[in-house]
Amino acid sequence: YQRRVHGIRMEQGIEILKGFRDSWMLLNPMLYIIRTRGVANRIFQCTLINGALFIGSILFFNKIVDPFLHTFSGLFGSYLEAVITLLYYLCWLYPVYVISFVLTTLWVQDIFDEAFKDYYKGKDLKISQPLGISELVSYMVKRMIMIMIFLLQCTILSLLPFYIGRVIELVHYSLLYSYYCFEYITMALNKNLAESIEMFEYNWSYFLGFGVSFTLGMMMWPGMMSSGLFCLLFPLLVLTSVPAEVNLSLIHISEPTRRYANSYAVFCLKKK
């Protein structure tokens, strides 16, 4: 029994390292961006709106507006300084964030569709029947509730003392960011939420390793800057997930699901 447990722990450790390695496999995605004009245009648009506009707005406030207000705080007064800060966030920064988030979501979908079509062309894929409108709406509602519960759980556990909370927060967000990336693949293969979660739970160690470096980078920046960096780097991370190791040896469950007699618990990709 102890040998079996030790073997399982070793396998999980190896999968964590595989996920970490795959998250840094940036050369092929970068080359793909260079040679694919449509993807390059979308990446440029994401970089422009998230980097130049959103992050630029944050830096403009932090480096110019905020120091100016502090310098002349005696002239303006603390109340007026707070009002100006609130107006800048409400009238400019938050609207820019919402617009950049929505546009990035649409553009990343275009990026993924192009990469998925090119990379999996001619490969053996098990694709379920497309979800209907009611099933898709149900998927989105359940997904939103699941993520809200997950974030609430993370927020509560992050309050634990002695860096335990920070470690738990790192694990939670690593898994969440990986889920965001690989969700594009499960959606492209018409998998319902239960199948997506089953795949994710079965391969949690790989996804932990895949998301940990990205999460560490996000945790180094406070507040809105972290959100801006997420939107800026997310398209590249999604591109990195398309040819990841998960598409060959990692996803291999083949038990029939309860919903579809001809589908699989997770998508099954066989190495040629």
For residue 74, the model assigns a pLDDT of 66
What is d(CA 46, CA 116) in angstroms, rounded to the nearest whole number? 19
User: Dihedral sign, CA of 143, 22, 199, 106?
Assistant: positive
Task: Look at residue 81 in the predicted model and tell me its pLDDT.
Answer: 81
Hey, is 128 helix, strand or coil?
coil
Looking at residue 255, its pLDDT comes to 38
- pLDDT at position 270: 35
pTM, two decimals, is 0.78
Predicted local confidence at residue 119, as pLDDT? 83
Q: Judge contact between 269 and 123, C-beta under 8 A.
A: yes
| Residue 202: Cβ-neighbour burial (10 angstroms; 0-12, 13-18, 19+) | middle
The b/e string for 172-181 (b: 16+ C-beta within 10 A; e otherwise) is bbbbbbbbbb
Helix (H) or strand (E) holding 63: none
- The pLDDT averaged over each successive group of 10 residues in the chain (272 residues) is 62 88 88 91 94 93 87 70 89 93 91 87 65 78 90 91 90 92 84 82 90 90 86 91 61 37 31 36
Residue with tokens 């398209």: 235
